[in-house]
Structure 1
Amino acid sequence: MRQQSGDASVLRRLNSAAILRHLRAAQVATLSELARGARVSRPTAEVIVDDLIAEGWAEECGDEPGDRQRGRPARRFRFRAASRHVAGVGVGALLLRAMVSDLGGSVVASRQVPNHAAMSARERVDAIAELVEDVCADAGLPVAELVAVGVGTTGVVDGAGRVVKSVVLPGWSDVDLHGELGRRLPAPVLVENDMRLAVLAEHWRGAARGRQDVVYLFTENRLGLGLLIGGRTHRGAHAASGEIGRQSGDHWQAFRHLADYAMAVEPGELRTHQQAAEFAVARAEEGDERAKAAVRAFAAHLAEGLLTLVNPLDPELVVIGGSLSRAGDLLVGPIQDYFDDRCLYPPEVVASGLGGECVTLGALRWALDHADQVLFS
């Protein structure tokens, strides 16, 4: 927004921000509505709106059907979500994903590339920066025009954006991801734990919309956890909330039922935990009774582990996310039955519909929240 010198310019910027906030919230508004919302005179609102249009923040709407029959209609204006953009990045064990969206959350470009375990930390940071540049090029935008780049990564992430500890990606512990990306990208960078961003994505566009207390369980190549308490993601005293994955005993025991089934069906085929799980789920969907039993046993094991968290937290919803959420009721049904039998107030259990994009979408939402604070405060 235009800046001027003196006290008048400060008041003008405050009034402009107030009108812009009101327009963004309303999506479409008349001058009178904007003036009331910002508590300024109508002439002042008109001057400010003209400036916002000139600067690309707003645009005038065309006539709606029937306007001409009612006489001259009031001028209506809408917020231009495409005036600015943000990016979101998900750093997973196998893939790097990136998206660019406008300020309305509409994704305008997306990309993904492999994340090889053999990469050094420097190579991985370089790959993330290159991915952001490429996805921005796809969107026809220079990186420097992004309001923010949100990054969700596996590992314990402190308040400064440093990966304090990672047991999933080799060499990823003690990496100053915020600082390293900040030196490579000409845009503000935000770094957060992937599971916290995954539950944020569910609250924004997934199964947890409108819910305040949610437990999110990630089921893929590892197990992870995200908590939404009172509508806010929970970080924990050491920013380690959600890091339950790769605890060897529990991790193996949860997947053992699926791995045993896969080995029994195809003894000569070596599979990772995730591959065995996907194999068993696919066979269960085809009607294989032994596969169904293996998936039910896996679900019961997950439910048993979740119970110690669900009972004291009393969430209203449990979301099963990650690639194994595609199992749907094969996984959700046994967990729901387990809670119904053992919880004083059983939460609803649902499968996520966001798939592998959950962390990247959460990173987008987090970047959008930052944009709101920077642009509209």
Structure 2
Amino acid sequence: MLQQSGDASLLRRLNSAAILRLLRDAEVLTLSELARGARVSRPTVEAIVEELVSEGWAEECPDEPGDRPRGRPARRFRFRASAGHVVGVSIGHTSVQAMVADLNGAIVAVQAIPISPDVCAADRLAAVGDLVTAVTAQAGLAVHEVAAVGVGTTGVVDGDGRVVKSVVLSDWTGVPLQAELAARLPVPVVVVENDMRLAVIAEHWRGVAQGYDDVVYLYTGTRLGLGLLIGGVPYRGAHAASGEIGKMPTGTWAAFKEVTDYAMSVEPGELRSPMESARFAIERARQGDAEASDAVRAFGVGLGESLITIVNPLDPELVVIGGSLSPAGDLLVGPVKEVFDEICLYPPLVVASELGSESITLGAVRLALNHIDKALFS
């Protein structure tokens, strides 16, 4: 009898998870539609839905004026996305950003703070904790009300959320990031992942890579990074180092030479990083400067040639240019595509990201939601 009771309890939990998932995936469903979708009896559905409503996971929809049919209207229900919230955090080279989202992924609060790449690990961790507290307060929540925090960081991140190696941030190598933040934040769970893998997850979830399972994502910012999606799964690599380009032999990609030379020729006394030079040239090209246009085109060709050794053997469907240079759009997409069309056996589609520099934080939100989904629907 005890075993039978256990089986009944398990079946009830499975049915509850199935019904909750149906509500999550649809805007509104009636009891009859839930019964058909979950393949259980209507009385079972009714009992489970009442339980979900009492626990706050579902809510009954009010009748819409003018739409009421004759007779007793069918009761309609929907998933209550505000039943829980998650926080996504991106720890970058010069800033930290955080977003609060409900269980449907709707963003309800965003904050970012600048931070020096040279600050010590303790100060960076404190800044992350303070930012999470601030952004949750902006959303009208206390930190302990958050269901999960997802974190994206530059560097090689192992399965325990430890930064094994970082060539971008000082004093970051060896930091047990997941454990440190779990100790500082009163939340049930903290999950940590490499930022480039989160960026490509975000593009697959909410960006231009929706519907594509084999994707190469090029991040352009204060540094360059790569995210690889293979068969719909972010590729980690043998040492979880996928996405980290590391230091180039010349200090930066040769593709930046033309835009750097252009910026120096226009304003010789202005010292700019390679990425700042690229932004400067792109802005001038938008204004109609022919020399800037030539420099940006050469930059795009250089990016395409640099990506060939990745694109040719991987044979992706899509290449996404993301990060802070993604607003350049066709100024970069066109030259990169021309290189692929000339060299690749099967040239992939090339597009600019519409998520820009927020892709990592959105990916961290999705990381946290994935953890919650496992608890709700498994």
Confirm whether residue 72 of structure 1 aligns to residue 69 of structure 2.
Answer: no
AA aligned to 1:29 is: L
Aligned partner of 2:330 in structure 1 is: 329
Shift of 1:195: 0.5
Shift of 1:41: 2.2
Aligned partner of 1:41 in structure 2 is: 41
TM-score of the two chains, using structure 1 as the length reference: 0.95
Matches within 5 A, 1:5-154: 8-64=8-64, 66-154=66-154
Aligned partner of 1:226 in structure 2 is: 227
AA aligned to 1:51 is: E
RMSD: 1.6
User: What per-residue deviation string (whole Å, max 9, x for no partner) do you get for residues 18-43 of structure 1?
Assistant: 22122212232111222233333212
Partners of 2:14 and 2:327 lie apart in 1 by 48
Confirm whether residue 275 of structure 1 aligns to residue 276 of structure 2.
Answer: yes
Aligned partner of 2:258 in structure 1 is: 257
Shift of 1:254: 2.4
Secondary structure at the aligned position of 1:174 is classed as: coil
140-149 or 67-76: bigger deviation: 67-76
CA contact (8 A) 1:88 1:364 kept: yes
User: What per-residue deviation string (whole Å, max 9, x for no partner) do you get for residues 26-69 of structure 1?
Assistant: 23211122223333321221122112112211111122455434
Shift of 1:252: 4.5
Secondary structure at the aligned position of 2:250 is classed as: helix
User: What per-residue deviation string (whole Å, max 9, x for no partner) do you get for residues 266-290 of structure 1?
Assistant: 0111112222111111111111111
TM-score of the two chains, using structure 2 as the length reference: 0.95
Shift of 1:337: 0.6
CA contact (8 A) 1:222 1:246 kept: no
User: What per-residue deviation string (whole Å, max 9, x for no partner) do you get for residues 329-367 of structure 1?
Assistant: 111100001111111111011111111101000111111
Give identity over the alignment, percent: 66
Secondary structure at the aligned position of 1:90 is classed as: strand
User: What per-residue deviation string (whole Å, max 9, x for no partner) do you get for residues 291-334 of structure 1?
Assistant: 11111111111111101111111111100011111111111100
Secondary structure at the aligned position of 2:198 is classed as: helix
Secondary structure at the aligned position of 2:325 is classed as: helix
Shift of 1:242: 1.1
Partners of 1:14 and 1:318 lie apart in 2 by 39
CA contact (8 A) 1:223 1:246 kept: no
Secondary structure at the aligned position of 1:68 is classed as: coil
Shift of 1:146: 1.8
Shift of 1:7: 6.1
Secondary structure at the aligned position of 1:125 is classed as: helix
Aligned partner of 1:189 in structure 2 is: 190
Aligned partner of 2:353 in structure 1 is: 352
Shift of 1:207: 0.8
CA contact (8 A) 1:245 1:251 kept: no
347-356 or 17-26: bigger deviation: 17-26
Count of aligned positions: 373
